[in-house]
A and B are shown apart, each in its own frame.
Chain A
Amino acid sequence: MAKILTVKPSCTNHYYLATAAILSPPKAALSLSKSMAACSSFCPQRPLQYRRKPISCLPIKPQFSVQVKAFSSQESSAPPKDEIPARIGFLGLGIMGSPMAQNLIKAGCDVTVWNRTKSKCDPLISLGAKYKSSPEEVAASCDVTFAMLADPESAVDVACGKHGAAGGMSPGKGYVDVSTVDGETSKLISAHIKSTGALFLEAPVSGSKKPAEDGQLIFLTAGDKSLYETAAPLLDIMGKSRFYLGDVGNGAAMKLVVNMIMGSMMASFSEGLLLSEKVGLDPKVLVEVISQGAISAPMYSMKGPSMVQSLYPTAFPLKHQQKATPIAAAANELYKVAKAHGLSDNDFSAVIEALKVKLQERS
């Protein structure tokens, strides 16, 4: 666990003395001013200045800052030697699954695919992938099988349903579920898989379509450590960093938190864009101003321009947004309105349309 040092400037007390001086009765003020003067001799010239010591003076370098591949936070596992599992299965070839599987194939892996709609498999087959007609058969013929499904129901069905992957799992094999599901679902799937003697790893990703294509995903894994180590070279092909977070459920929890912050940020950004437009500013300029400052985030620069044009090409479908706490709940209300207006399959940046709907309702 990274330790952060907090340096507390010894002169911070001066601010409190100053405030006390202001708010205390007249008699006390004199003695306070004298004690302040006394304190000033312990500090270099400008005591009052120190209460404004900026954040940047605190040594805050986290352990994993500038690495290309960031490893686990809890136990540092040495990256495994180049032992890529021989046969790899991939279940689910949607927006995310397809580019992820393609990256594995392009890296020279032996990949067998399955998808509910068979036609989605064709591009991968033409790149050299094998095909099996059920998750069970894929799992049986592979050493490590990945699953990338859109929602908890599909994830459970593919893993535990009729002709599901669990039917083909056995000791020595591993199942890596990279779908985003809630903790309970993940534990359910884990139990089914492990009851066959196989290993299980939940590994939801942070990143959407483009990072998937570019092999720049972030894996938030939890579950069997040994499977994490075995799968690491594969995760490194598909992503730029991976974290091992402990027991099953922790990966799902981390993903939930990240998505919650992201959803709230998107909703707030939408409010800003709409407000700027309504008060006579150019939203494009707002996007540019933001990109220059402390709140500049890649998401804003990526989505801002298309949002300004009321375009929401789907990278992260709106229907997948989650709720939790006051800001997130407020944001969630907007996502519900958007869903009610048929925007579920648009990119989640379409939440701005919900604000526009509300605006029309008011006028």
Chain B
Amino acid sequence: MEEIGFLGLGIMGKAMSMNLLRHGFKNFSWLFSSLSMENLKILPSDGGLGLEFWRDSLLEEELVGFDHLESVLFELEWGFPECDELVKHGATIGETPAAVIKKCKYTIAMLSDPAAALSVVFDQHGVLEQICSGKGYIDMSTVDAETSSKISEAITAKGGHFLEAPVSGSKKPAEDGQLVILAAGDKALYEAAVPAFDVLGKKSFFLGQVGNGAKMKLVVNMIMGSMMNAFSEGLVLADKSGLNPQTLLDVLDLGAIANPMFKMKGPSMIQSSYPPAFPLKHQQKDMRLALALGDESSVPMPVAAAANEAFKKARSMGLGDLDFSAVHETVQSSKGSS
């Protein structure tokens, strides 16, 4: 596997690309920006008007995630700094997704949300313009099953091969090559991708037909969201009972319900500090999608539903952009009224 394309160089994408480069894969990278298709050439080179221009041309609804925002601003104000470091390690820059697809047999995409994932494929200069028989497209973004199916159909209609492969794990696991990869779709493409997956993650699963990877990711995130809520309730209850919340953390860490998430987030939650590693609004979106999945099959999920309510309340309190552990604040405020 010689040249891999990589679309999307946000928090996750950059770490993943670096890993691939370090392990001998030649990357052909491209930085996602919703403006690059049409408008980039119009921007003045001094960058000073970049923000204003961008603000005029994008609607607030398009501000879908940190990575999106970040990559757009970088491109406008600072050129392609993300790409610079990658280039130093041997990557080549492509101007558009189509250019990358043209050059590479296999291309991985790592976008922040369904809108970005669709844009990269369907927009002008997108993936569809160059995808063809013999080429593979691996979408590692976290999207709902429907978006994934849409992309899959479009790719395979043109003769290409498609694999969805959302990951479990955030920035640090991405940097350390410790992601858990939940792949589904074209089995042959999965097998071809395994050498890359082995670099990117500690374990990869092939789960069958397109949609299964997305679903598995949602189920895991649903449990994670409920756990974070239960944990928050526990911390608040301990505090109100006159116990030291730090002692609760110590006790939990020794027993059967010890887990890395409690260990990582607990101390900062006690300090009411929620630096975003996984934004709360994304977690709530995942809870909602998981509940929708449950609705389709009439699966009762009262705990997840209660957790979702707590996340919604947190969003209404303006905590959507903080780490999802900020739901702790919601529990603290509701304890008074219950």
Q: Which of the residues B216, B256, B273 comes within 8 Å of A285, measured between beta carbons?
A: B216
Bound CA span A260–B169, Å: 27
- Give A253 to B236 CA distance when docked, in angstroms: 12
Q: How far is the CA of A289 from the CA of B182 in the complex (A)?
A: 8
Interface of B, secondary structure class, is: helix
Q: 1/0 contact trace for B210-230 toward A, CB 8 Å?
A: 001001100110111011011
The answer to whether the Cβ of B271 comes within 8 Å of any Cβ in the partner chain is yes
| Cβ–Cβ < 8 Å partners of B234 in chain A | 257-258, 260-261
Q: Is A43 an interface residue (CB 8 A)?
A: no
Determine if B276 and A60 form an interchain contact, defined as CB atoms under 8 angstroms apart.
no
B122 an interface residue at 8 Å Cβ cutoff? no
Q: Is the CB of B257 within 8 A of A297?
A: yes
CA distance A269 to B222 in the complex (A): 9
B233:A269 contact, CB within 8 angstroms: no
Stretch of A51-59, A75-83, A115-123, A168-176 at the chain-chain interface: A51-59
The reply to whether A73 and B250 contact each other, CB–CB distance below 8 Å, is: yes
Contacts of A253 in B (CB 8 A): 238, 241-243
A297 is contacted by which of B56, B66, B259 (Cβ under 8 Å)?
B259
In the bound complex, do residue A18 and residue B69 qualify as a contact, i.e. CB atoms below 8 Å apart?
yes
Interchain CA distance A74-B310 in the complex, whole Å: 33
Contact assessment for B77 and A295 in the assembled complex, using a CB-CB cutoff below 8 Å: no
| B223 and A254 contact, CB distance less than 8 A | no
Q: A163-203 CB contact bits vs B (8 Å, 1 = yes)?
A: 00000000000000000000000000000000000000000
Interface residues of B in 140-172 (CB under 8 A from A): 168-172
Say yes or no: is B188 at the interface (Cβ < 8 Å to chain A): no
Assess the B48–A289 pair: CB atoms within 8 A: no
Chain A proximity mask over B243-275: 1 for CB below 8 Å, otherwise 0: 110111111111111111100110110110101
Interface size of A in residues (CB-CB distance below 8 Å): 101
A342 lies within 8 A of chain B by Cβ: no
Interface size class of B (residues with CB under 8 A): 35 or more
B224 and A294 within 8 A (CB): yes
- Chain B residues with a Cβ under 8 A of chain A: 11, 48-52, 55-56, 60, 63, 66, 69-70, 73-74, 77, 81, 168-172, 180, 182, 202-203, 205, 207-208, 212, 215-216, 219-220, 222-224, 226-227, 229-231, 233-234, 236-238, 241-244, 246-261, 264-265, 267-268, 270-271, 273, 275-277, 290, 293-294, 296-307, 309-310, 321, 323, 331, 334-335, 338
List A residues at the B interface (Cβ < 8 Å).
1-2, 4, 6, 8, 12, 15, 18-19, 21-23, 26, 29-30, 32-34, 36-37, 45-46, 48-49, 51-56, 58, 60, 62-65, 70, 73-74, 206-208, 211, 218, 220, 240-241, 243, 245, 250, 253-254, 256-258, 260-262, 264-265, 267-269, 271-272, 274-276, 278-281, 285-286, 288-290, 292-299, 302, 324-331, 333-334, 355, 358-359, 362-363
- 13 A-B pairs in the complex with CB atoms less than 8 angstroms apart: A30-B48, A46-B81, A65-B253, A70-B250, A207-B255, A253-B241, A258-B234, A268-B230, A275-B294, A276-B219, A278-B294, A327-B226, A327-B306
Other 12 A-B pairs with CB < 8 A, given A51-B66, A257-B243, A325-B338: A54-B275, A261-B231, A268-B227, A268-B230, A271-B226, A272-B219, A274-B300, A275-B297, A279-B296, A279-B297, A281-B216, A293-B260
